[in-house]
Structure 1
């Protein structure tokens, strides 16, 4: 008898790292553009939100991630926040505020050992400005998640 190992599928999406100016001093941040993907927001049986990225030639995802520098000798000591939103591949300018952020499927994730605070949340209070000029996309985002403490409240970046 022999066993057949599962083979990793090749991911056809293109990920571009970008510059960002919104990182707290106590951690590291990355901003990525994940091209030709769509953000599918789902809810599990307990009512918790999760997401999947699926192929879509008309949209791309901007993902900002903050990882706090922690003492790794302690168990369950990690802390991460992320913001994801979907943008059309073809646009000149997008300006959205509060409940209109739903148009770009904007979500915030807080991943930590912090009961009642961890999870993925829909962002419905904030302001997003995106501009595309030639092959450069710039964005500014300010947001708030009600009843959740979070370090990231403003994000700005440039994607070339």
Structure 2
């Protein structure tokens, strides 16, 4: 009986069913960019690289791997309406930052150097997926200990709710 108790405690305290991503860090943001009808969050992934890949059906998807960059994920989730099925609606903005030593400002075609991706998830036939952002302006300002990033954009492919996102890092 003594061995069974020891075995039970060993199994209970050594098994971990939830895998934690050590590179993930939620950022407290003012969320002044968040629409009133939803909840928003910003997640920072350190030592991570972001890739926009295409599957065998021609659909784009995002993939992250361990690397040397910082990836920011801005998330907007619209609050569901009780009387509507399939009313889930989410927009994600992904930004990969390679070097945060100096302030910078880039726009339009130069956004591809920062791997900026818009993701739309909803029951919107033919209008969901992951799209590279090619029209907009990405600004990063570094002043002493304060780091600030802002993206103003238009994806020009599918409808969007978010027009800009920003946060302190």
TM over 0.5, shorter chain: yes
Q: Report which of the two has the higher share of strand.
A: 1
SS in 1 for 2:110: helix
1:30 to 32, 41, 44: 41
Normalising by the residue count of structure 2, what TM-score does the alignment of the two structures yield? 0.83
How much does 1:89 deviate? Answer: 4.8
Alignment RMSD: 1.9
1:139 to 149, 162, 165: 149
Judged with a 3 Å threshold, the aligned counterparts in structure 2 of structure 1 residues 70 and 37 are, in CA distance, closer, same or farther, namely same
Question: Structure 1 unaligned runs (5+)?
Answer: none
Which of the pair has the greater relative contact order for Cα pairs under 8 Å at 6+ separation? 1
**Count of residues in correspondence between the two structures:** 154
The answer to whether the 8 A contact 1:14-1:36 is kept is no
How much does 1:62 deviate? Answer: 1.0
Name 1:66's counterpart in structure 2: 76
SS in 2 for 1:86: strand
> For 1:41-73, what per-residue CA distance to the aligned partner results, in whole angstroms no more than 9, with x for missing partners?
1100111110111111x3101111000011255
Computing the radius of gyration over CA atoms, which structure comes out larger, 1 or 2?
A: 2
Question: Structure 2 unaligned runs (5+)?
Answer: 1-14
Within 5 Å, give how 1:1-160 maps onto structure 2.
9-19=19-29, 20-56=31-67, 58-72=68-82, 74-159=84-169
Normalising by the residue count of structure 1, what TM-score does the alignment of the two structures yield? 0.87
Q: Report which of the two has the higher share of helix.
A: 2
